[in-house]
Chain A
Amino acid sequence: MSIIRFVNTDGLPAFLAYLSKDARVLAPVEKPADKKSVVFEEWTQGKPFTLEKATVPAKEAVLPQCETLLTYKRDKDPEDPSRVSLKLDDTPQAVPTVVFACRPCDARGYVTLDRPYLQGPMVDPYYKARREQLTVLTLTCPRGCSTCFCHWVGGGPSSPEGSDVLMTEVEGGIVLQGLTPRGDALLEGSGLEDGAARFPDAEAARKAAWATLNKAPDLKEAPAKVAARFTDADFWEKETDRCLSCGACTYFCPTCYCFNITDEGDGYQKPGRRLRTWDNCMSPLFTREASGHNPRTARALRMRNRVSHKFATYPENWGAFSCNGCGRCISNCPVCLDIRAIVLDAVKTES
C-alpha cells in the first residue's frame, strides 16, 4: 500500500516550503495579463501560486528553453600569438527539482521524452542529470475540457504515468498518494497527516472526472493510417491551410523535444557558449540546408511532419503516441488548428 497523506488548503505553503528545502520547486504561477497565462516558476517563500492547469507545459524542468551545452575558451600563447589553446567545459547544470501541481498530461510528457533522450542509441547526459533529480507531484484533473483529449491517447485525468506523487483535490484540501519510492519517501518526510481516511473521497473525485469525458475514438489504426497519408498532398494541404507556421504548437507541447544548437561568441575574451534551445519543426529554417535545399518547404509538409511524428513515426519507434492530449496546441494556436480533427480525418476516410 502506498503512502497516503492529506494537506489542507491552508497548509499548502508550508508543504511547498518543505519541498523547497532541498530542491528548486517549480509551481504554477498566474501572470496577470489581458490573456491570463499560468506558467511554471520557481517558488519561493511567500510567492503566490495557483492550482490551475498551466498554459505552458512543465517540460522546462528537464528541457530548458535554453541551456549551455558547453563553454569554450581560447587563449593565445603570450610567447607566440599564432598558437591558440582551447579549453572546453561541458558540466551539466542540473539541480534537484520538484515539479508541483503539473497535470497528468505533463507528467506523461516526461515518459515520452525519456525514450529518445535516455533509451535511444545514445544517452543525453544533460537530460539525464535533470531527470534523475526530478520529483513530479501531479494534480489530477477535476474534469475534462473542450480542448483536452488525454483519454484518446492512453492517458486520463488521473493517469499516474510519470508521476511520483498523485494529488487529488477534495473538500478542504488535497490527498497525496505516493506512487514511487521517491514519492513515498518525500511524503513520509513531509510531516503531513495521514490521508487514508480521505482517500475514498479522492478516488470518488477521480472517478467523477472520468465521467465528464466524452467518448474516445479508437486510435489503434492511427499510426498506420497517418503513415499511409504521407503522400496524400491534398489531404495535408486541406487540413493545414490555415496554419501560420509559427511555433506555438511545438513550444506549448509537453512532448515536443526537437532542439537547435548554436554557438555564441568566439571564445577569445570570455568563454563562448554552445547553446541548446527549443526549436520547432514548423519553421522553414528547421530543415533548410546550407545549399538552399529544403525537404519541407511548405507549411503543409511541416505540419505533416509534426502530426506524423506524434501519431505515426514516434509510435513506430517507441510503441506509444508522442501526444498526451493536453490540448495546449489547440488552445494556444492563433488559428485554433485542431490536431484531433487532422488525426480523425486521417483515420476516418480512406486514403
Chain B
Amino acid sequence: MPVLNGKELRIVGFLCNWCSYGGADTAGVARAGQPTDLRIIRVPCSGRIDPLFIVKALLNGADGVLVSGCHPRDCHYSAGNYYARRRLEVLKQFLPVLGIDDRRFEYTWVSASEGQRWQHVVTTFTDRIHKLGPAPRLEDAEPLLKIADMALTSLRPLGTGQNAALDDLKAAIKAKLPELDCVIGWQQGYDAAHTVPLFMRTPEDVDKLVWGPFNVNNPATYLPSFKGRKVGIVVKGCDSRSVVELLQENLIKREDVTIFAMPCQGTLDMARVNQELGRYSAIDSVSYDEAGVTIVADGKEHRFCMNDYAQGKCYGCTTPSAVLADTRLGTPEAVQPGAYTPPELAMLDAMTLEERLSFWKGQMERCLRCYACRNACPMCVCRDYCIAESREPQWMTQEATAREKLFFQTIHAMHLAGRCTGCGECQRACPVGIPILALRQQIARAVAQLFDGYKPGLDPEAVPPLLGYELEEKNIHEREWK
C-alpha cells in the first residue's frame, strides 16, 4: 500500500458512534492494515456533525476530512443521516468558492460490520489526499485584490420609480396606522443622496416616507425585533422574500405583519455612488428622470444611470413586485427569468482554487469584525447569542487573523444555507466593501441545483430544504469508492 509509505498527512475523521466507529473497530479487530493519517473523532450521529466542524478543520490545517455515518435507513436515531446527507452535500459544493478543493472532503456510510469496507474507504481516501498533497494554507496565500465586473445587462428595464403611487401608499398606511405599532419604511438620511429606515408611528411620520432608488435598506431586518406586536412594513420585491422566509421559519407571525408593496425598478449601489461622489461638503440638488439620478454636489454634477449604477442583485432580479402583500399599489411588471450569474460569483468562478484562497486572504485582511454583515442580515436571528462571540462553546478566537474572519463568514454563510434570499444586505453593510455576498450566492446556487431550483422566500408554506429530507434524494448520489 503506497499510502502507508512517505510522510503522513493530517486527515480528520468524524465517525458516528453507532455504525462507522464500530466499523473502524471491526477493521482493527480483523487486523486490516490501514494508513495511519486519520485522526478519528467520535460523534453520536452523523446528524450531529455541523458543517462547521469540517470547515474549521480544513481552515486550521487538516489536509482532508472524512465523515462517515450509518447507511441511509440504518440511523440509530432514524433520520440523523438523512439531514446530514443534505448538509454535507451542500458543504461539498460550497468549499470550492473558498478556494478549498472539494476532493479534500468526503462523506460516506459504513456499518459496524463492514470492517473491510472501512479499510477500503480509509485507504482510498488517504490515497486521494496524498495525491492532492498537503493542503494550501490561507496563511501562506499571497493576498489578491480584484473587483467584480459590474457592466451588466438587466433582465428587466431599470428605472427610478418616480411614477410610483407614493401618495396612495401614504394614504393606505395612514388608514392602517391606528391598528399597528408602527410601519417600517424609508426616509431621507443625512442628505438627499442617502436614505435610511423610517419607523412610522404617527401620520406626520408617514409624510416622511420616500420611494426611489436610494431605498437600499431591507426593512425586514427589523421584523423579528417586533415579536408579538402588530407591525406594518413597506417592501420592495426583494424585501418581501425576506418577509416570506421569516414566515417560512415561523420567526414572525403572518397575522402580526401587514405588508405594503409597490413594484421596484431597481436600487442604487451606494458603494459605487459614494465613490463617484467622493468627499463633498454639501448636496446642492438631486433630480430624477426615468433612466437615472443626477446629483449636484459642491457645484459638480454627477450622473447615475440606473443601468450602470444599480446594485448587483437588481440586474438578475425576477421579483420586482412583492411575492406576498396585503396592500399593493402600482402595476407589477412581468419579468422573464433568464440566465444570470451574480457579478461577484462570476468573478470567483473565473478564478483557480489558489486564486480564490488568495482573494479571500486579501479581502479578509481588512475586516474589522464589526459584524455589520451579521446584524444587517434579516435571517440572522440569533445575533445576541452568536457563536462568533460566545466562549461556551468557543468556536472562534478573538484574534484579528484572516483565518478567523473567513471562518466567521463561513459560519454566516452555512447558517444561511437554503435560507438566504440574496438581499445583499451583508455586503452592502460591510464598511470596508468585502464582497461576502458571493459566499451566500454560491450556497444558493448549490441549493437550487440540489433541490430542483428551490429559491428561499417565495412560498410561505415551503419547508426550507435543510430542514427536511427525502428517503431517496433525487440529486444526491453516493460516490463510488473505487
Binding site for B on A (CB under 8 A): 31-37, 39, 53, 55-56, 64-66, 143-147, 212-214, 241-242, 244-248, 250-252, 260, 262, 264, 275, 277-278, 280, 283-285, 330-338, 340-341
Contacts and interface: CB of A to CB of B under 8 A. Distances in A.
B196 interface: yes
A277 B281 contact: no
A65 B369 CA distance: 9
A43 to B, nearest CB: 16
Nearest to B221: A244
Given A33-B434, A66-B399, A241 B199 contact: yes
A283 B370 CA distance: 10
B408 to A, nearest CB: 13
B147 A35 contact: no
B191 A33 contact: no
Given A248-B368, A278-B369, 16 more contacts: A34-B433, A35-B430, A36-B271, A53-B279, A56-B366, A146-B282, A214-B281, A244-B429, A248-B370, A250-B370, A278-B368, A330-B190, A333-B431, A334-B429, A338-B190, A341-B190
B281 A36 contact: no
Interface residues of B, number: 54
B391 A33 contact: no
A34 B272 contact: yes
A275 B432 contact: no
A84 B147 CA distance: 53
Interface in B336-355: none
Nearest to B279: A145
B220 to A, nearest CB: 13
A34 B269 contact: yes
Interface in B342-387: 363, 366, 368-372, 374-376, 383-384
B224 interface: no
B398 interface: yes
Nearest to A68: B399
Given A33-B433, A55-B431, A241-B199, A247 B369 contact: yes
A146 B190 contact: yes
Nearest to B194: A336
6 contacts: A35-B272, A246-B370, A246-B429, A283-B371, A334-B376, A336-B194
A66 B400 contact: yes
A36 B275 contact: yes
Interface in B249-299: 269, 271-272, 274-275, 279-283
Given A32-B145, A242-B199, A336-B196, A146 B432 contact: no
Nearest to B363: A33
Interface in B220-257: 221-222
Interface in B138-195: 145-148, 150, 189-191, 194
A206 to B, nearest CB: 16
B389 interface: yes
The 6 closest A-B pairs by CB, nearest first: A35-B433, A35-B271, A334-B429, A332-B431, A33-B433, A246-B375
Contact of A146 (B191, B375, B398, B431): B191
Contacts of A244: 221, 372, 375-376, 429
A268 B58 CA distance: 24
Contacts of B221: 244
A237 to B, nearest CB: 10
Nearest to B269: A34
A35 B376 contact: no
B307 interface: no
A303 B431 CA distance: 19
B428 interface: yes
B147 A32 contact: yes
A212 B191 CA distance: 17
Interface string B391-421: 1000001111000000000000000000000
A277 B460 CA distance: 42
Given A247-B371, A285-B389, A31 B366 contact: yes
A280 B190 contact: no
A332 B376 CA distance: 13
